[in-house]
Chain A
């Protein structure tokens, strides 16, 4: 009766093998590496970059342990930290000849030194949280109200110019909180205004208010428009952050949305919070200026004599360009930039939307300058870059501008992104910050590891002394529980934090409960006079119901923590829940398989090595029958 069919043994063996393989990468440690990734949206890292890295290192005689290309960029594994620093400096010099204008991010990194066959099975070491590896964590709150106010302001401008274009007379347009109020003197004009506005403004809801002389038309944003604006704001802010963080040279930055209006930024290994905050909070501006096209001026500027009131820029693509210092329009007037296609020629194009004031200026400027070029300049850190410099073909009114010509679809996408990413859609505020020094991280790993190890050792010694062979089986089952747990955490790449390590320890401490229950039941059955084989059978069977019930109540607590917990508590909850599930399997199935292998095959079992089973002198006194 204590035999498992072959398939059950196979499942246990497979599970153990799986646990072993996925736990293995954690033992290899990490080796120094250098990572080269793109600092610009327009620059793609591909096989050619990898070859170039290989060539650079080869000519300098720096030996590497492999150069890989992955989604993050090119990674070079090196033998020592000395050669890592050497390689970083060299690559930095080769890939970013102009230090003021970096094209690539060259960063120090650590790579798992597990063999390649493991990596190809997606067996990676556990992903350590910031409290274990050191770094900076920011939680940013996006000011959604700010984003909506900005949009409403631009809408009220649009309404004003629309009504003026259609010569509808009104008595004033004002933004009051989250609505725009337009006043009218008579009902007829109001109706006319509504007709005009409803046709062209799909984002707003118009409601009549007031009576007599004081007639009003109140415009509020439609719920779906609000949702779209908010989604757009958070996406754009994330894009902007991404671009900025690239400059910090962080190997594996995490930028993720949390909830509806929050962004988490994690920069492992970064210690300089001041610089990180500078970069996160920086504002970039967009400017539209005219190109100086006086004959000879460009040549003079290139010779070193820049004419008064102009600046020399290099266009993307390498052509020099002389741009007037006078700003026609700033990026504040730009409400959107989307890639698309020209209606007539079907060429890739970028569609810009300007607010009403911007549209008016733009109309005037383009009317006066047909045939000339205008430059769109992105200014960051006081340094400008000409994004594009198109020729004005005709007067452009209505605030919808299209930039096209000599652009690929890819370039159109990137230009739109750059234009949008130039500034943040909505202001952001840091509402939570954590900086953990690298030494503290290493300390935390050490402490967590030691607690688990000594706790495990104490339990193991006690269990083996108290339950002998059954104790040993319990300890092996507990060890396999640890193995499964670490394997699962590695496989899922869940973030391991110090509370997570505490959860591992606690889960092990609680998981032994199942084996104690089983062993106590078997002893009890023996005490009541069952044969050894029957005692094992009923012991396991009866204990199982109890084990299930008690684990489910613990799991309920774990799930509650998982749902409502954040930060450190979440790390605890993930490990706790996974640990409860793995302990069910290891305590019941794995230990039973071992017991079955030991006792189940024997014909005659005289006694079980489960420690001393004390029987009261007068059997039956303790029993109630």
Chain B
């Protein structure tokens, strides 16, 4: 089996502007949704209480809402979680409520109107923890960005590191844009997925850049766009197969992992799809426009002692 029977280098760079415009539009759209709708942050970030209960038969959500309302709760949300028997209740943080007893008092309230529930999980997060998590998340993102920029600048060249990080940060924004648009819940594990994607798709750029460097060193007489085309073409089979394999694993998590891993694997899926696109078709043109050229990779040859002007030793 051989999927990719490519005879000639595909002229990706001819369409560089198109790719970047598409990318820019998606990016702007993502930013727009991030600002207009905002992220639907999970209890971990906002603070509050999360209660998961399970009924032996399909749960009556109306009854659950009613009983919570009667018990004096407000601003809560009640929804199914994974199956019709599982119910997830979210309660906001309230200063006057005795948070230590919230799990029990909710169960008591439910016992009257919607009996038969078993408590599966209670999570309570205080306000100070939530703020800290958000701060730490931002710091982690910053550390990843700085770490990758520095490493790539050291291993390759600043042009590569700059374009790789621009291309991949815009992936991150796009993932966040999706979460804002669909109002999917943004939890700690989604944050972990986003950062893992960042590391992973930079990896993609690295593979292409590695080829670019190799081609510059080995093959003479090519223009920069030709070199980039060649590098992308010769790694495309690997790109598709690798991402396909990773995606198979992620898909398996999406299907079998249950509700807890659902948004985690969803973030990874978006990240992988956009990661391929941006790290290949966005990062490479950026490198080109930043002015990469052959000279940056050829170390100046040492003058051999005794050589004449033509370089021949007599």
Take A451-B261, A572-B189, A622-B8 as given contacts and tell me if A430 and B210 are in contact as well, using a CB distance cutoff of 8 Å.
no
Given known contacts A273-B122, A451-B257, A556-B148, A430 and B203 CB-to-CB distance under 8 angstroms: no
B191 touches A430 (CB 8 A): no
Q: How large is the interface on A (under 10, 10 to 19, 20 to 34, 35 or more residues)?
A: 35 or more
Interface-located stretch among A31-39, A367-375, A610-618: A610-618
B121: Cβ under 8 A from any A Cβ: yes
Q: How far is the CA of A445 from the CA of B230 in the complex (A)?
A: 46
Q: What is the minimal beta-carbon distance from A515 to any residue of chain B, in angstroms?
A: 9
Which residues from B are CB-within-8-Å of A405? none
Task: Decide: A510 and B189 in contact? CB cutoff 8 A.
Answer: no
Q: Taking the complex as formed, is B116 at the interface, i.e. its CB lies under 8 A from any CB of chain A?
A: no
Q: How far is the CA of A622 from the CA of B230 in the complex (A)?
A: 9
Knowing A554-B200, A555-B199, A616-B7 are in contact, say whether A568-B123 is a contact too (CB < 8 A).
Answer: no
Report the Cα distance A594→B102, complex, angstroms: 58
Would you list which residues of chain B between 220 and 239 have a CB under 8 Å from chain A?
222, 226, 230, 234-235, 237-238
Q: Which of A435, A508, A520 contacts B238 (CB 8 A)?
A: A520
- Interchain CB contact under 8 A, A509 and B250: yes
Do A502 and B253 touch (CB < 8 A)? Answer: yes
A506 interfacial by beta-carbon distance below 8 Å: yes
Nearest CB of chain B from residue A519's CB, rounded to whole Å: 9
When the two chains form their complex, are residues A513 and B257 in contact, meaning their CB atoms are under 8 A apart?
Answer: no
Are A499 and B207 neighbours in the complex by a CB distance under 8 Å? no
At the interface with chain A, which of B12-20, B125-133, B284-292, B298-306?
A: B125-133
By a CB distance below 8 angstroms, the chain A residues around B104 are 273-274
| A44 contacts the other chain (CB 8 A) | no
A617 to chain B, nearest CB (A): 8
A318 to chain B, nearest CB (A): 39
**Nearest residue, chain A, Cβ from B142:** A560
User: Is the beta-carbon distance between A546 and B210 smaller than 8 angstroms?
Assistant: yes
**Least CB distance, A542 to chain B, in whole angstroms:** 8
Rounded to whole angstroms, the CA-CA distance of A250 and B89 in the bound complex is: 29
B249 and A624 contact, CB distance less than 8 A: no
Residues of B within 8 A of A459 (CB): 245, 248-249
The residue in chain A whose Cβ has the minimal distance to the Cβ of B126 is A431
Neighbouring A residues of B207 by C-beta, 8 Å: 517, 546, 550
Q: Which of B187-243 contact A (CB under 8 A)?
A: 188-189, 191-192, 195-196, 198-200, 202-204, 206-207, 210, 219, 222, 226, 230, 234-235, 237-238, 241-242
Which A residues lie within 8 Å of B260 (CB)?
444, 447, 498
User: Is A564 in contact with B203, judged by CB distance below 8 angstroms?
Assistant: no
List of B residues within 8 angstroms of A549 by Cβ: 155, 203, 206, 210
A residues 132-146 touching B (CB-CB < 8 Å): 139, 141
What residues of chain A lie closer than 8 Å to B103, measured between beta carbons?
Answer: 273, 433, 435
Q: Is the CB of B136 within 8 A of A612?
A: no
- How many angstroms from the CA of A436 to the CA of B54 in the assembled complex? 12
Counting contact residues on chain B (CB < 8 A from A), the size range is: 35 or more
* Cβ–Cβ < 8 Å partners of B143 in chain A: 556, 559-560, 563-564
Q: Are A506 and B238 in contact (CB under 8 A)?
A: no
A553 touches B151 (CB 8 A): yes
**Could you tell me if B129 and A513 are in contact, using CB atoms closer than 8 angstroms?**
no
Question: Bound state CA distance, A452 and B241, in angstroms?
Answer: 19
1/0 per residue, CB under 8 A from A, across B122-165: the answer is 11111011001100110111011001100110010000000000
Asked whether, in the complex, the Cβ of A455 is within 8 Å of the Cβ of B122, the reply is no
Instruction: State how many angstroms separate the Cβ of B113 from the closest Cβ of chain A.
Output: 21
Q: Is the CB of B136 within 8 A of A509?
A: no
Cβ contact within 8 Å between B199 and A554: yes
Q: Determine the chain B residues whose CB is within 8 A of the CB of A99 once the complex forms.
A: none
| Cα(A498)–Cα(B265), bound, Å | 13
Whether B77 is near chain A, meaning CB under 8 Å from some CB there, is no
Binary per-residue interface labels of chain A (77-101) against chain B in the complex, 1 for a CB within 8 Å, 0 otherwise: 0000000000000000000000000
**A458 to B247 Cα, complex, angstroms:** 10
Contacts of B246 in A (CB 8 A): 506, 509-510, 512-513
Within 8 A of B (CB), among A229-283: 273-274, 277, 281
Q: For the complex, would chain B's binding face be called helix, strand, loop or mixed by DSSP majority? A: helix
A450 to B191, CA, bound (A): 23
With A141-B128, A498-B260, A502-B264 as given contacts, are A624 and B196 in contact (CB-CB < 8 Å)?
no
A545 within 8 A of B: yes
A612 and B2 in contact, given A435-B103, A505-B252, A621-B7 (Cβ under 8 angstroms): yes
Q: Is A432 close to B, CB under 8 A?
A: yes
Verify if A63 is at the interface (C-beta below 8 Å from B). Answer: no
Interface string of B249-280 (1 = CB under 8 A from A): 11111011110110011001000000000000
Residues of chain A lying within 8 A (CB to CB) of residue B3: 466
User: Is A558 positioned at the interface, with any CB of B under 8 Å from its CB?
Assistant: yes
CB distance B7 to A508 under 8 Å? no
Which chain A residues in 112-143 approach chain B with CB under 8 Å?
Answer: 139, 141
CA distance A573 to B126 in the complex (A): 24
Does residue B118 face the partner (Cβ distance < 8 Å to A)?
yes
With a cutoff of 8 Å between Cβ atoms, the chain A residues found around residue B6 in the complex are 622
CB of B312 within 8 A of chain A? Answer: no
Interface flags, A499-536, vs B, CB<8A=1, else 0: 10010011011101100110010011000000000000
28 contacts between A and B (CB under 8 A): A273-B103, A432-B124, A432-B125, A447-B261, A450-B252, A451-B252, A451-B255, A451-B257, A455-B248, A458-B249, A459-B245, A459-B248, A498-B261, A499-B192, A506-B250, A509-B247, A510-B203, A513-B242, A517-B207, A556-B144, A556-B148, A557-B195, A560-B144, A560-B195, A564-B137, A564-B140, A576-B196, A611-B2
Q: A431-B126, A557-B200, A573-B192 are in contact. List 12 more A-B contacts (CB 8 A).
A: A141-B128, A437-B119, A506-B196, A509-B250, A513-B245, A546-B210, A549-B210, A554-B202, A560-B140, A560-B144, A622-B9, A625-B219
List 5 A-B pairs, minimum CB-CB distance, nearest first. Answer: A557-B199, A509-B249, A431-B126, A455-B252, A455-B249
List chain A positions with a Cβ less than 8 A from chain B.
139, 141, 273-274, 277, 281, 429-437, 439-440, 443-444, 447-448, 450-452, 454-456, 458-459, 462-463, 465-466, 498-499, 502, 505-506, 508-510, 512-513, 516-517, 520, 523-524, 545-546, 549-561, 563-569, 572-573, 576, 611-614, 616, 618, 621-622, 624-625
